Amino acid sequence: MQIKIPYGKGEVEFDIDDKRVLGVITPAEIQPAEDYGMEIERSLKNPIEGPTVEDLSPRDKTVAIAVDDLTRVTPTHLILPKILDSLERAGAKRGDIKIIIALGTHREMTPQEMREKYGASVVEEYEVVNHTFDDESNLEYLGKIAGDVPVWINKEYLRADIRIVTGNIIPHFNAGWAAGAKILLPGLAGEETVGRMHVHSSMTTPNGLGMDENPTRQLIDAFAEKVGIHLLVNTVITRNREIVRVYTGDFMKAHRQGVEFAKKIYGVKAPGLAEISISSSYPADIEFWQGQKALFPADLATKPGGGIIEVTPCPEGISVMHPKWIDYLHCNTEELKRGYERGEAEDLVALGLAMNYTSIKDKHPICLVSEGISYRDAEKIGCQKFKRVEEALEYLTERYGSDSKVNILTHGGETYPIVR
């Protein structure tokens, strides 16, 4: 049978014997909202256990709005203008509003990327700035949480009178589900904070995909309680990027209601564990730092010791901002833990994320189909690279047998397989 899976802005097609296919695991089809604008406005006017924009009384107050970057699929160009209109109708001055891109430790967005992500008129008419995670002069320290995690937060966000956050709810391998307060940690946090968070995550729940209240989510929420969020606006969208519902209100309660709804789309029942899983990283595919997200749902859909074929374009390679990461990915989890305990980590963020990755690599041989990652770099990170899916499948079939079963994850970057 012919199978097509997303690959960057296009698709990859491959042949597979239909008798070997255990399941095609893909987000559910669901009807989007009839009118996106009306759905956004409905949510803003009817917040979940939180204030409306009018209740925040923004007249003569400064406002900071945290938005995510190009690595996320939040329809910010649709929700942000509605938030801004609501603020200005309630008396906010345009010059008192600042939009801060919650990069975490990602690279800065270019002006053109900002226009595409947030809308040209927003970028031209409002102050839009990139978060700088590695500049302490732009951060403020608020103490510690969870023992050794320092609370370094973007100073401009913290000092605003009104603090609003946005985001989109899909499964996430360390926070369980994306959005909520995750836009602050790691989004607007300092470098050490992000590093300690990732190490904490990898040591407590190396694959927390789909877990509602895992240790990482608890850490993120504790960070937000310390920093403060006045209003949350989160979307749930279809796999085709159409708004289905918007959740506004208290940063925890609105988010959790959104998670319950998102499960209907992205929590996909799988028929069982397969010897081999083929997983597209779509839409997390700009670099392997994002692309590795395809491995975590594949882990949940694959038998222990079974093989994973990851299909990911990675036009920006392994990692633009964390060159040390490639060295960590070559190790196993125990080696990385010992290095951390000895205080040898040069890049805590990369180390933590590497331990998430090696927790999968230690259990599954990984084959890589990627135009952006060289054969040499694939070998460095412990993967076997192939040009085509069929070649990788043939390689793993020799290991697991011609009758080995295969699960196919079409949108591995945002799917939570549920195997009963």
> Which tokens belong to 352?
């933590």
- Mapped onto helix, strand or coil, the DSSP state of residue 110 is coil
Using CA atoms, how far residue 287 sits from 11, 82, 223, 371, 385, in Å, is 17, 31, 28, 11, 16
Evaluate whether 208 touches 216 at the Cβ level (below 8 Å): yes
pLDDT at 420: 78
- Mapped onto helix, strand or coil, the DSSP state of residue 305 is strand
Evaluate whether 76 touches 166 at the Cβ level (below 8 Å): yes
DSSP-derived pairing of the beta strands 274-280 and 406-409: parallel
What global pTM score does this model have? 0.95
Cα–Cα distance measured from residue 112 to residue 99, given in angstroms and rounded to the nearest whole number: 16
User: Cα 385 to chain center, whole Å?
Assistant: 24
DSSP-derived pairing of the beta strands 2-7 and 10-15: antiparallel
Strand order, beta sheet including 243-249 = 127-130, 97-101, 63-67, 162-168, 231-237, 243-249
Per-residue pLDDT of the chain (420 residues; tens, 9 = 90+): 999 999 999 999 999 999 999 999 999 999 999 999 999 999 999 999 999 999 999 999 999 999 999 999 999 999 999 999 999 999 999 999 999 999 999 999 999 999 999 999 999 999 999 999 999 999 999 999 998 899 999 999 999 999 999 999 999 999 999 999 999 999 999 999 999 999 999 999 999 999 989 999 999 999 999 999 999 999 999 999 999 999 999 999 999 999 999 999 999 999 999 999 999 999 999 999 999 999 999 999 999 999 999 999 999 999 999 999 999 999 999 999 999 999 988 999 999 999 999 999 999 999 999 999 999 999 999 999 999 999 999 999 999 999 999 999 999 999 999 997
Peptide bond before residue 365 is cis, with ω within 30 degrees of 0: no
> Which tokens belong to 79?
């929700």
Q: What domains appear along the chain, each with residue ranges and CATH number?
A: 2-28+271-419 (3.90.226.30), 36-265 (3.40.50.11440)
Using CA atoms, how far residue 385 sits from 114, 170, 301, 370, 398, in Å, is 34, 28, 21, 8, 16
Evaluate whether 47 touches 231 at the Cβ level (below 8 Å): yes
Upper half-sphere CA count for residue 29 (Cβ side, 13 Å) = 0
Which residue from 254, 260, 214 is spatially nearest to 230, judged by alpha carbons?
254
Which residue from 76, 62, 71 is spatially nearest to 316, judged by alpha carbons?
71
Upper half-sphere CA count for residue 413 (Cβ side, 13 Å) = 25
pLDDT at 148: 87
Axis-axis angle for helices 333-341, 348-361 (nearest 10): 150
Which residue from 162, 173, 38 is spatially nearest to 92, judged by alpha carbons?
162
pLDDT at 103: 97
SS (H, E, C) 29-76: CCCCCCCHHHHHHHHHHCCECCCCCHHHCCCCCCEEEEECCCCCCCCH
